[in-house]
Amino acid sequence: MRSLRVGQGFDVHPLVEGRDLIVGGVKVPFERGLAGHSDGDVLLHAIIDALLGAAGLPDIGQQFPPSDDKYKDADSGKLLKTVVQLLKGAGFASIINIDATIMAEKPHFSSHIPSMRSRIAEIVGVEPSQVNIKATTTERLGFVGREEGIAASAVCLVARDE
């Protein structure tokens, strides 16, 4: 019998000077980057939490604690690959799909979305058609609207053979 599980994730990081902007595993040209213990990839972090949630596993902060120096400036793509292995170890045979949204006033992400979809699909071992990414603004409302940070949300569906 096949069991399907849904997970959702959300993450936010402040924009700061002196860091590259990495979103969806892709370096995006911009004058600021995202602060974080790792590379601050807000989109991959949301996807990681969505996958962990679907599998009923502890969240990203418990899997890769910011108090652990081995995750300092870590490549979030490598963290996502580790999570995929955790899911396989927990009996989850496949990722059916990932649907995610980036919330930012600037920069505009539309031209980077195809690269992000391809990169995420490569990391998790699915076809790019199984990864959907949208970008939106918050109509200048809140910390995102004031260009103080970027947020991302993600939902995923995973399958487990029982």
Q: pLDDT tens-digit profile of 105-154?
A: 999 999 999 999 999 999 999 999 999 999 999 999 999 999 999 999 99
Average pLDDT of span 67-96: 92
Average pLDDT of span 36-59: 96
Length of the chain: 162
Give counts: helices (H), strands (E), the chain: 5, 7
Structure tokens, 60: 């990203």
Asked if the model's pLDDT at residue 47 lies above 80, the reply is: yes
3-class DSSP state for residue 155? strand
Instruction: Work out the pLDDT band at 35, boundaries 50, 70, 90.
Output: very high
Longest dimension (CA), the chain: 51
- pTM for the model stands at 0.96
CA nearest 160: which of 98, 96, 91? 91
What class has domain 2-161?
A: alpha beta
The structural domains of the chain, with segments of one domain joined by +, span 2-161
C-alpha–C-alpha distance, residues 80 and 31, integer Å: 26
C-alpha–C-alpha distance, residues 136 and 110, integer Å: 9
